[in-house]
Amino acid sequence: MDDKKNEIISAENVGVKYFSGNKDDIKTRALQLFSNKARKEKNREEKVFWALEGIDFKAYNGEIIGIIGSNGAGKTTISKVISRILKEDIGLMQVDGKVTALFSFGMGFNKELTGRENVYLNGMMLGIDKELINQYIDDIHEFSDLGDFMDQPMKYYSSGMKARLGFSVASHLEPEILILDEALNTGDAAFSKKAAMKMKELVIKAKAVILVTHSLAYAQRHCNRLIWLQKGKVAGDGDPETIVAEYRASLPKVKPKKKRILQIDKTETIVKNNAVIKAKNVGVSFKLKNQDNFWALKDLNFEIKEGEVVGIIGHNGAGKSTLCKVLTNIYKPDEGKIKVEGRTSALLGYGTGFNQHLSGKDNIFLNAMLLGIPKKVVFEKYDEIVEFSGIKNAIDKPVKQYSSGMKARLGFSIAAVLKPDIFIIDEALSTGDIAFQEKASARIQEMIEGAKAVIIVSHSMAFVEKVCTRAIWMEKGTIKFDGSAEETVAKYRESTNK
């Protein structure tokens, strides 16, 4: 047999089961005081849920395999079985080669250590000899594009910077089989192109790359085979173009409640004259290790008026997440002033504020409490939150069993249904599947009628163009351009293609 067709992964009737009910979870019992309904159900029997069932496929040397599917389809679970983090309950998973896995951004990083120190920490966790890390450390630094931040504590990194460093470490330290599970979702366009080229280099030297992603365009462009998972089973396996077409055809059609939302290609809203956010000469600085202060934001001047849906775009490390934290009072400006009119709810990355040991149901009440929402309102909106999230069958399972996409859906549903005055979404939909992004787009457009403003941080330019009425392009902590979503995105794209 040709060496390129050497079998390196073989899955035969693989199944993985979870138990719902959490009757032995002490933390869950403690949180049950939030809901009388939950207290009545605390003694219910556990039920078996098959996250994977009857999985059969083979992977061969030299392949870049994309794994696609809706949130909760089993993509992360299959990644964990291949990397031996999980053991299959039935069937057999055989892997010929050492697996290096990167699960979402920043997993395994110590935020108090510098990027360089974390390279060595992650390398040792992967079983890499220190001499080999020494050999590649300069290449990892250069590829990550972190510059001086390489020697700064990772608590100052944005989610995108963590993603870049994580990929750089995993891809340079001679992996045999590299698994990327949603690890590039927060990467900007320029880095995504670099990552794609690096993956193609890897399969020449290594055995295979497995990419879990919700970006169908990225998967179709850079993978030579796709596996489509649906409800824990293989729904399709083959040529990327064919599998993507079949997957798209399977997606449910969103039926908006209001006629206006049928024009979902572009948000239509009435912008009022009153400003709900005013930033004047805003600056935020960090005291970095062995350096002078670093200005994450500098001289920001802008206003956001009632009725606007504003996209914040820019490369990793441009200051987007820092700005969100200023708007939500997590950070205070070191210079200038910021004024926000109204109650602000922020979804800063997927799963922020979730307790991993508690069920989705308990986390709804916990998150609402953190947002200052009265329990009575949560009871009234509970069924709507669960229905909108689309994870009703998993709502009683602990969040630690959720995929990143399921966390994103639940987090968005809680915040959106409870209707804040100003809603900030920082990369929280980066792991959402296409069907849910369509639902989220429609809900954001509905929200603007009752909310004062919506602010969205995203690397998806198509999403920004579709949903936002205006966009602010940030670069190195300053505003590079501020205008209509279409014009701003066009200028940003032009800059990344140079």
Provide the β-strand partners of residue 488. none
Distance (Å, whole) CA 314 – CA 188: 8
Give which of 56, 28, 68, 7 is closest to 431, Cα–Cα. 68
Q: Is the dihedral of CA 89, 95, 99, 105 positive or negative?
A: negative
Contact 28, 357 (CB under 8 A): yes
Helix (H) or strand (E) holding 418: none
Instruction: Report the C-alpha dihedral over residues 164, 68, 394, 347, rounded to 10 degrees.
Output: 40
Cα 40 to Cα 32, 34, 43, distances in angstroms: 9, 12, 7
Distance (Å, whole) CA 482 – CA 305: 14
Model confidence pTM above 0.85: no
Distance (Å, whole) CA 57 – CA 70: 19
Place of tokens 């933390």: 27
Distance (Å, whole) CA 213 – CA 248: 14
Phi, psi of 34 (to 5 degrees): -75, -20
Tell me the angle at which helices 115-125 and 159-172 cross, rounded to the nearest 10 degrees.
50
Give which of 311, 308, 320 is closest to 453, Cα–Cα. 308
Instruction: Show the domains of the chain with their CATH numbers.
Output: 3-250 (3.40.50.300), 259-496 (3.40.50.300)
- 351 token code pair: 């799963």
- 109 token code pair: 């990083």
**Chain mean position to CA 280:** 31
Sheet holding 47-60, edge to edge: 47-60, 7-20, 90-95
Distance (Å, whole) CA 147 – CA 329: 28
Give which of 320, 338, 356, 357 is closest to 455, Cα–Cα. 320
- 154 token code pair: 């990772």
- 242 token code pair: 């064919």
- 7 token code pair: 């079998």
Helix (H) or strand (E) holding 5: none
Q: What is the pLDDT along the chain (498 residues), one digit of tens a residue?
A: 344 468 999 999 999 987 754 444 444 444 444 444 444 444 444 577 888 999 999 999 989 999 999 877 888 889 889 988 889 999 999 999 888 877 654 556 888 888 999 898 878 776 778 888 899 999 999 998 888 889 888 888 877 788 888 888 888 877 888 888 766 655 567 787 888 888 888 878 778 889 888 888 888 988 999 999 998 999 999 999 999 999 988 887 655 444 333 234 566 667 788 889 999 999 998 877 666 778 889 999 999 998 898 999 988 778 888 898 888 887 899 999 999 887 666 665 544 567 777 888 988 888 777 666 778 888 888 999 998 888 888 898 888 778 777 887 888 888 777 777 787 877 655 555 667 777 777 777 776 666 788 888 888 888 888 888 899 999 989 999 999 999 999 999 888 775
What single-letter amino acid sits at 466? K
